[in-house]
Chain A
Amino acid sequence: DTGVSQDPRHKITKRGQNVTFRCDPISEHNRLYWYRQTLGQGPEFLTYFQNEAQLEKSRLLSNRFSAERPKGSFSTLEIQRTEQGDSAMYLCASSSGTGTGAYGYTFGSGTRLTVV
């Protein structure tokens, strides 16, 4: 297993277009997270999956954003009608664990989105 993979690494899109990102987590990890990071800031939580169930979603997440994790494996994050404010690094992370245990995340290298 080579870690968490994200695709594409970079995406440039015109304002108003839809974009979709993919994340392949570490295969034995049942938890998957999406975060967004802008320059000079720490990652900001977007959503969390345990297996295929989306259990938490940021209140800041616009309804233009949707995420799925079919069959509890890979995940996709779609942004509809992109805006310039959506330009950021989109990070996927996975972790193992059950119950309320605390575990470190393994992050992918991210997808850099630029909306022009």
Chain B
Amino acid sequence: SQKIEQNSEALNIQEGKTATLTCNYTNYSPAYLQWYRQDPGRGPVFLLLIRENEKEKRKERLKVTFDTTLKQSLFHITASQPADSATYLCALPTSGSARQLTFGSGTQLTVLP
């Protein structure tokens, strides 16, 4: 069955560095992939959507890549700031469904001042 894996450990980086988060998936070929940010006690916030025919997408300090051969997406935050500290979730359309998303368990990022 479809499986999504994100960085299993929390990620701590120094302010100003680039954070790189990984999302791997198996047993599936999604048409697109989404990234969300979630702060404690809040709902996820949509950040970026990348389609299978797009290798890379950028939005301000964010960059997402999508490698359908490796079945992997990388999420980069450049010039990271303490305000970027949050849990980041990747999500893929659920196999066999028209509208469901399947979410990974998330990676908790802490940017240290």
Contacts and interface: CB of A to CB of B under 8 A. Distances in A.
A83 B36 CA distance: 30
Given A44-B103, A55-B99, A56-B99, 16 more contacts: A40-B105, A42-B103, A42-B105, A43-B89, A43-B103, A56-B98, A102-B32, A102-B51, A104-B36, A104-B46, A104-B47, A105-B46, A107-B36, A107-B43, A107-B46, A109-B42
For chain B, the bracket of interface size reads 20 to 34
Interface of A: 4, 31, 33, 40-45, 48, 50, 55-56, 91, 93, 100, 102-110, 112
B84 to A, nearest CB: 19
Contact of A45 (B31, B36, B43, B102): B102
Query: Considering residues A33, A105, A108, A109, which has the most beta carbons from chain B within 10 angstroms of its beta carbon?
Result: A105
Contacts of A44: 103
Interface in B74-113: 89, 91, 93-94, 97-106
B44 to A, nearest CB: 5
Nearest to B47: A104
A87 to B, nearest CB: 15
Contacts of A107: 36, 43-46
Nearest to B46: A104
Query: Considering residues B43, B45, B100, which has the most beta carbons from chain A within 10 angstroms of its beta carbon?
Result: B43
B40 to A, nearest CB: 10
B13 interface: no
Contact of A109 (B4, B32, B43, B49): B43
Contacts of B7: none
B89 A104 contact: no
Contacts of A109: 41-43
